[in-house]
Structures are given as C-alpha cells and as structure tokens.
Homo-oligomer: A and B are copies of this chain.
Amino acid sequence: MGKYASDLDMVFLALAHPARRAMLARLGQGEATVGELAEPLGISLPAVTKHLKVMERAKLISRSRNAQWRPCRLEAGPLTAASGWIDEQRRVWEGRFDRLETYLGALEGEEGRRDDR
C-alpha cells in the first residue's frame, strides 16, 4: 500500500491479519500493554510492535505512557467507518433487490390487468 493509501484502506488492511484482530478484541476489554497483547500470540515482541504500527497508522489504537509501559487503547471511530462502508454497500445492494421485487410485482399487476380484459 503506497504512500497515499486512504484511511479506509489502512483500516481494512489492519483488520486483515488475525493477530491484529486478536489484539483489537483484547483491547475491546480495556487498555493493555505490549507484553499483555503479545502473550497469547506466539510471536516475537518486535513483530507485535510492527502490528501495532499498522493499527496506529489506521488510527485504530492510541498509545499512552506509564513508566516503561506504553499501553494501547482501542479507538472506535475507524471501526465505525469500516462497518459503515460495508453496511452502505449492503444497503444499496439490498435496495436493488427491493426495486427488482417492486418491478416484478408491477409486472404481475400488469399481467393481471391484461388477464382481466
């Protein structure tokens, strides 16, 4: 993803790795340190740091500082934007079927009238 990737690009990309989704799920329970996030993943700490960078770039998380710990916090906005995009697509897509249904209904009405004469 080049230099000019959009917000949504980065959010969906961040969601496209199971380790990152696991970290987000964990962060849904509340703040966590890097070590706490890394523990269940079975990958090295530097690998976790890289995943965190991907999620920070997508603004899915923010970091604070507490002594030598740098806790991560979930930011809901981008998640809302992502599912918003999907839901919008589904809305349009389902709307298309509704209109098709209406159209077929209208056709049926036509045929009914034709049958009547």
Contacts and interface: CB of A to CB of B under 8 A. Distances in A.
A25 B50 CA distance: 31
A85 interface: yes
Please tell me the size bucket of the interface on A.
20 to 34
Main secondary structure of the interface of A (DSSP, over half): helix
A101 to B, nearest CB: 14
A85 B21 contact: yes
A29 B79 CA distance: 25
Contacts of A15: 8, 12, 82, 85-86
Interface of A: 1, 6, 8-10, 12-13, 15-18, 21, 24-25, 28-30, 74, 76, 79-80, 82-83, 85-87, 89-90, 92-93, 96
